[in-house]
Amino acid sequence: MGSFVLISALTSSGSHATGGRGHRPATVGEGLTPAPLANFELHSPHVDSEVQVYSFQGVAGAANATPPSDSPVVAASQFTQPIADYRAYALAQLGRMETQLGRLQAALAGGERADAESAWRGAYADYLRLGAVYLDGQTALDARVAKLNLEIDGTSGGLPGGVSNARFTGLHRIEYGLWSGSSPQALTAYAGALATNVHELAAVLPRAEITPLEYATRAHEILEDAARDFLSGMDVPWSGEGVLATDAGLQATERLIATLAPVVGTTERVMPTVTEELGHLRSVFDGLQAAHGGLLPSNSELTSEQSEQLDGTLQGALEALSQVPGVLETEAPSTVPRIPAADFVVQAR
Amino acid sequence: MKPLDRRSFLARSGLFVGAAGIGAVGALARNGDGSSAAAQGDASGGSPAASPQQEWNVSQAELAESDPFDGPHQAGVLTPRPAQATFAALDSIAPGTGELEAALRALSVRARELTAGGPAPLLEEGAPPSDSGTLGPVNAPDALTVTVAFGASLFDDRYGLTSRRPRELVQMPTFPIDDLDPAESHGDLLVQICAHQRDTVAHTLRELLRTVHGSLQLRWNIDGFSGAARGPTPKNNPRNLFAFRDGTANPPTNDSKLMDELVWAGPGEPAWAAGGTYQVVRIIRQHVEFWDRVALTEQQEMIGRVRSTGAPLGGTSEFEEPRYDLDPHGRRIPLDAHIRLANPRTARTADQRILRRGYNFTRGSDRSGELDQGLIFVAFNQSPERQFATIQKRLLEEPMIDYITPVGGGYFFAPPGTGGATGWIGNGLFAASS
């Protein structure tokens, strides 16, 4: 194995993007032994820190030498209250959504497209304020919740025939109909089925298991999904309501972080950065709402400057949020067993 | 590739210098295993026109490499994968079978010229040049391959080919994780162009399209590149844009028996299809920003390999066997790791293996400012249903699906090679239907 060089910034402030608390090059975990070659000062608008040039010489046998976590393990019991708080929050959101769906059904039946679109926005945002759904499908209850989620929020992507597939139902089927000129009355059956599914979800959600790992992972994955699916327009091709959807994801994340803050504690430097970045993002949404007459704009209504501001601030928040799961591990990383030497086989090439 | 003997290389170059002036290079045929017919010496190149003080910015020896266009199989399947590629899907607008046949003949004739290399033909100065000239007066072969494949839609009722359709050639199904854009999916034809240099690929696409204008119209195209070979040994595979080595478990292409079992058309196919292969292309967006925010441990568990070395988890060498048989509960390599689902390495799944020949792509950013990067997944296989689709269905269980979105591509059938210098890709199909 040859050697290569990595330039690693050694921050003294603890605000390094990788979130590590020790002075350790980020790639050391890939089984390479660093040896400092030289120190010099790096001056840039973004980084002002001592920089150390490392030479890495590969070491056979160290390939899985993942360094130990630099955060203490958190007791799983510490997640009990946050998850309970989240369940109560989620049920309240579903209650609000049911109210919006009542409005939606009435508007559709009355042929009031504008009212229907408004109610759809409210219902969609309420649903996304639940945050992410993590289900491994190992239990019948998981499978039921997963099916309900698909019927409520499934898109036409991945369905043979796309929008014409009979399994395309729920919020996005109604979105497709409303924004592509369908008769509102033609959508009432979809709205009725949607309301039934949401009611059932509210009944089963309290019993669905949420593990500490899943809960901690939501800290950044709710907004990761928003960046991937909403602001790109992928999940809202007809209404273009990616800003609204992302704002809902932010609200879910704010709630989640509030419940996790006591678990993370004050000794971690992660939370102040997260709080600061989420605050920046919240102020961007507030600014957008003010600039667009009190309503969040659709993706296409954003100016290029507004898009850059929103996208960039969201990415900054995500970089901070991505550090959260690492400080909420409930188990110490296990060492990967070696492939038994006696059974070492090199593939024929 | 074997090193090129410098004197031999210069002598060959001289042939073209005499014919076409400066900058000429000679074609150097590669053997079936990818080695050059002559040995290569000075990787930094050297030609009669080179000043001793100047360094070439590309390997002149590589520019001189040539992969034969004609043969029992098309080039670009088993031949070594050069660094650059373009995939262009075309739709036929030919009014009749005769016009379509003529376009395919012309495509082969021009592809044969370009892959062989040589002086760009000149016409009178008052006429538009017959070659765009973007590579200069001589087109260096540059290991160029042009691989033509047919989509299922070519076998509809337009050209009387319906009864000749390869048995498993259907429009690529939509898998549950897909978000296919019709504007970059499917097509009547697929032309895969590969070469060492980007300008060779770009020139070839332009020349080939010019040849078939009026009969075949571009539907979508995408450019790809391979990561550079960065070692630690030449055998180590380059990395995809998730930073993991790609192609480690590919079946060896020099095992002709295995290629007959896994790649080339099998029993039950139309006679004209013998020697052909099904080509699956998937344009897979990789959400690289999201991926970069995932802990290394989690990345490695999702893939099942160590990122730095490419070794299976618990191992030290990229080419070490992962030994799932000794890890039935996934303590070392999780049961839903990518490599474990893609190739379980059991007797029952041995005939599901595919030959991958993919490329990375990067094409700007999406509307939310996220990088539009990913993998042009390319697989050659004998049976898409038995092989690619079976693997794809298993991969629906992998956690990595959150970080990727397949957005385009298609199923195609690459017919056999021309068989000789007077043949053309697809001639068997039309001979069978006449």
Residue A264: the pLDDT is 86
Distance from CA of A249 to the nearest CA of B (A): 16
Q: Which residue, among B208, B336, B209, B222, has the nearest Cα to B282 in the 3D structure?
A: B222
Listing DSSP states for B201-255 in one string gives HHHHHHHHHHHHTTTEEEEEEEEEEPPP---SSTTS--B-TTSSB-STTPPPTT-
Cβ contacts of A66 on chain B, cutoff 8 Å: 296-297
Q: Which of B178, B293, B320, B345 to mutate to test the interface with A (most CBs of A within 10 A)?
A: B293
A40/A129 Cα distance (integer angstroms): 47
- B312 and A30 in contact by Cβ < 8 A? no
Mind listing the pLDDT tens digit for each residue in B244-271?
Answer: 999 999 999 999 999 999 999 999 999 9
A137/A147 Cα distance (integer angstroms): 10
Tell me whether B123 touches chain A (CB under 8 Å). no
* Residue of chain B whose Cα is closest to the Cα of A31: B308
Residue B256: the pLDDT is 97
Burial code of A7-40, b = ≥16 C-beta within 10 A, e = fewer?
A: ebbbbeeeebebbbeeebbebbbbbbebeeeeee
% of chain A beyond a pLDDT of 90: 60
In this complex, the residue of B232, B316, B321 whose CB is nearest that of residue A2 is: B232
With a threshold of 0.85, tell me whether the complex ipTM lies above it: no
Distance from CA of B109 to the nearest CA of A (A): 35
Contact B66, B29 (CB under 8 A): yes
Mind listing the pLDDT tens digit for each residue in B148-171?
Answer: 999 999 999 999 999 999 999 999
Residue B55: the pLDDT is 86
B387/B349 Cα distance (integer angstroms): 9
Mind listing the pLDDT tens digit for each residue in A131-161?
Answer: 876 666 678 888 899 899 999 999 998 898 8
A73/A325 Cα distance (integer angstroms): 11
* Residue of chain B whose Cα is closest to the Cα of A61: B316
Q: Is the dihedral of CA B402, B408, B413, B419 positive or negative?
A: negative
- pLDDT band at residue B44 under the 50/70/90 scheme: very low
What's the whole-number mean pLDDT along residues B308-332? 95
The Cα-based distances of B81 to A267, A278, A349, B195 in angstroms read 52, 46, 16, 8
Mind listing the pLDDT tens digit for each residue in B187-236?
Answer: 999 999 999 999 999 999 999 999 999 999 999 999 999 999 999 999 99
User: What count of other Cβ atoms lies within 10 Å of the Cβ of residue B21?
Assistant: 13
Distance from CA of A159 to the nearest CA of B (A): 6
Residue A180: the pLDDT is 95
Report residue A102: phi and psi, to 5°.
-65, -45
pLDDT at A298 over 70: yes
Tell me whether B295 touches chain A (CB under 8 Å). yes
Q: Which of B186, B237, B365, B368 to mutate to test the interface with A (most CBs of A within 10 A)?
A: B368
- A2 and B177 in contact by Cβ < 8 A? no
More confidently predicted of A177 and A267: A177
Contact B194, B84 (CB under 8 A): yes
- pLDDT band at residue A26 under the 50/70/90 scheme: very low
DSSP annotation of A235: S
pTM for this entry: 0.83
pLDDT at B334 over 70: yes
Mind listing the pLDDT tens digit for each residue in A78-100?
Answer: 999 999 999 999 999 999 999 99
Listing DSSP states for B165-209 in one string gives --TT--PPPPPTT----GGGB--SEEEEEEESSHHHHHHHHHHHH
- pLDDT band at residue A127 under the 50/70/90 scheme: very high
- Lookup result for tokens 């400057």: A305
- pLDDT band at residue B68 under the 50/70/90 scheme: very high
A286/B72 Cα distance (integer angstroms): 66
Cβ contacts of B345 on chain A, cutoff 8 Å: none
Mind listing the pLDDT tens digit for each residue in A261-297?
Answer: 999 876 668 899 999 999 999 999 999 999 999 999 9
In this complex, the residue of A63, A234, A242 whose CB is nearest that of residue B311 is: A63
- pLDDT band at residue A345 under the 50/70/90 scheme: low
% of chain B beyond a pLDDT of 70: 87
Mind listing the pLDDT tens digit for each residue in A44-56?
Answer: 333 333 333 333 3
| Mean pLDDT of chain A, nearest integer | 80
Report residue A231: phi and psi, to 5°.
-70, -25
pLDDT at A43 over 70: no
Tell me whether B250 touches chain A (CB under 8 Å). no
Residue A70: the pLDDT is 62
Bridge partners, residue B216, by sequence? B92
Tell me whether A249 touches chain B (CB under 8 Å). no
Contact B107, B374 (CB under 8 A): no
Residue B51: the pLDDT is 57
pLDDT at B123 over 90: no
Listing DSSP states for B53-81 in one string gives T---SS-HHHHTEE--S-SSS-TTSSS--
CA atoms within 13 Å, Cβ hemisphere of B291: 25
- pLDDT band at residue A36 under the 50/70/90 scheme: very low
* Residue of chain B whose Cα is closest to the Cα of A226: B368
Tell me whether A220 touches chain B (CB under 8 Å). yes
Tell me whether B214 touches chain A (CB under 8 Å). no
Residue B367: the pLDDT is 85
pLDDT at B12 over 70: no
| Mean pLDDT of chain B, nearest integer | 89
Tell me whether B309 touches chain A (CB under 8 Å). yes
What's the whole-number mean pLDDT along residues B380-404? 97
